[in-house]
């Protein structure tokens, strides 16, 4: 069967194109990794056959033998649809946890995203919380990025501002968002810091860079980023005018309780 027609592949390709058109993935900006089950991948390729082995340069042992469809380093989201095998790869973390086998894709000899440490550390953190977890998306969502230039960078106040900018926010991400200060990207260090935030949140903002989102499907992960990005857009649109109204803490509480959202009570007054 043609892997390009696999449901997981079609959905990933569509997500890349959507995100590109939203302006969140300029040039090679952003990356996606999605865990696949053996059951999903097996009809499309021999999952025992390695095309080549790469070193991960970090320990991802909790993910040993797991399969991930990943965007390529230096590759453009714009081009994924036109040539999936060139811009994406399917990898399996080796038994030793420090290598991975490429099973499909990266056809020009390329490799997975430079943010793989942050992706894999986040997958480990989220899987320890939720066995249905599957997807990590990193992108340069415009308004979230803009907000990191104009807003204090702590989890509580950043979360509160997003919650106040749109009624659905506290329901979609009741646990809030984590915020990291500017750090060097592509490193194990930012990977560890992201994973630490992912213990508590499914969204982690990277100041002056972008955002990481986690979820059990592409839709859910895209949706949580999209919701935060919309709230950040309202925040930026109303930043230089006098805000006459807001969603009060009492209203946030009412919302969270009405929708039975397990929210961060300590983030409200
Ligand atoms: P990659 O091209 O290696 O995925 O990097 C893009 C990016 O957004 C880095 O943070
Ligand atoms: Zn980035």
Query: What's the gap in Å between 242 CA and the centre of ligand 2?
Result: 33
pLDDT at 202: 98
Concerning whether 95 is annotated as a catalytic residue, the answer is no
User: What is the rounded distance in angstroms from the CA atom of residue 85 to the CA atom of residue 13?
Assistant: 11
Query: What's the gap in Å between 243 CA and the centre of ligand 2?
Result: 32
Kindly state the tokens that stand for 86.
């060139």
> Sorting pLDDT into bands at 50, 70 and 90, what band is 167?
very high
pLDDT at 225: 99
Which residue ranges form the domains of the chain, and what is each CATH number?
A: 1-113 (3.40.225.10), 115-269 (3.40.225.10)
End-to-end CA distance of the chain: 56
What mean pLDDT is predicted for residues 57-83?
98
pLDDT digits (tens, 9 = 90+) for 122-160: 999 999 999 999 999 999 999 999 999 999 999 999 999
User: What is the rounded distance in angstroms from the CA atom of residue 179 to the CA atom of residue 31?
Assistant: 19
Pocket, ligand 1, Cβ cutoff 6 A: 28-31, 71, 73-74, 113-115, 138, 185
pLDDT at 38: 97
> Sorting pLDDT into bands at 50, 70 and 90, what band is 203?
very high
Question: Is the torsion defined by CA of 33, 124, 66, 222 positive or negative?
Answer: negative
CA distances from 248 to 32, 48, 167 (A): 35, 55, 11
DSSP 4: G
Rg of the chain over all Cα atoms, to the nearest angstrom: 19
Helix (H/G/I), strand (E/B), else coil: 36: strand
What mean pLDDT is predicted for residues 232-249?
97
Percentage of the chain lying above the pLDDT 90 cut: 100
List, in sequence order, the alpha helices (H) in 130-241: 142-150, 155-165, 169-172, 188-198, 218-237
Nearest to 58 by CA among 106, 109, 123: 123
Read off φ and ψ for residue 166, nearest 5 degrees.
Answer: -165, 135
Whether residue 177 contacts residue 162, with contact meaning beta carbons closer than 8 Å, is answered with: yes
Q: Which residues of 149-165 are buried (b: 16+ CB within 10 A; e: fewer)?
A: eebeeebeebbbbbbbb
> Sorting pLDDT into bands at 50, 70 and 90, what band is 227?
very high
Q: What is the mean pLDDT of the chain?
A: 98
* Beta carbons within 10 angstroms of residue 132's beta carbon: 10
What mean pLDDT is predicted for residues 40-47?
96
pLDDT at 267: 98
Residues ≥6 apart with Cβ < 8 Å to 248 = none
CA angle 226, 229, 233 (to 5 degrees): 135
Catalytic residue (choose from 115, 220, 229, 233): 115
- Ligand 1: which of 108, 136, 185, 209 to mutate, judged by most atoms within 8 Å of the beta carbon? 185
- Ligand 1: which of 24, 73, 78, 105 to mutate, judged by most atoms within 8 Å of the beta carbon? 73
DSSP line for 7-34: HHHHHHHHHHHHHHHTTS--TT--EEEE
pLDDT at 60: 98
pLDDT digits (tens, 9 = 90+) for 94-122: 999 999 999 999 999 999 999 999 999 99
> Sorting pLDDT into bands at 50, 70 and 90, what band is 201?
very high
């Amino acid at each position: 069967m043609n892997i390009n027609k696999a449901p997981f592949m079609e959905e990933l390709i569509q997500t890349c194109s959507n995100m590109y058109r939203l302006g969140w993935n300029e040039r090679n900006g952003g990356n996606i990794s999605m865990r696949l089950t053996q059951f999903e991948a097996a009809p499309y390729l021999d999952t025992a056959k390695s095309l080549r082995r790469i070193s991960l340069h970090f320990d991802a042992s909790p993910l040993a033998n797991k399969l991930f469809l990943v965007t390529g380093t230096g590759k453009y989201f714009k081009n994924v649809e036109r040539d999936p095998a060139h811009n994406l790869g399917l990898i399996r973390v080796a038994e030793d946890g420090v290598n991975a086998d490429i099973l499909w894709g990266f056809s020009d000899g390329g490799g997975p995203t430079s943010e793989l440490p942050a992706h894999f550390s986040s997958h480990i953190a989220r899987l320890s919380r939720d066995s249905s977890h599957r997807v990590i998306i990193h992108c340069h969502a415009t308004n979230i990025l803009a907000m990191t230039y104009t807003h204090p960078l702590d989890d509580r106040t950043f979360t509160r501002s997003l919650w106040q900018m749109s009624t659905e926010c506290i329901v979609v991400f009741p646990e809030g968002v984590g915020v990291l200060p500017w750090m060097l990207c592509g490193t194990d260090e930012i990977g560890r810091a992201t994973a630490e935030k992912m213990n508590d949140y499914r969204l982690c903002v990277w100041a002056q860079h972008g955002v990481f989102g986690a979820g059990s499907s592409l839709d859910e992960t895209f949706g949580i980023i999209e919701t935060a990005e919309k709230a950040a857009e309202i925040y930026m649109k109303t930043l230089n005018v006098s805000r006459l109204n807001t969603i009060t803490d009492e209203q946030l509480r009412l919302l969270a309780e009405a929708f039975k959202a397990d929210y961060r009570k300590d983030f409200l007054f």
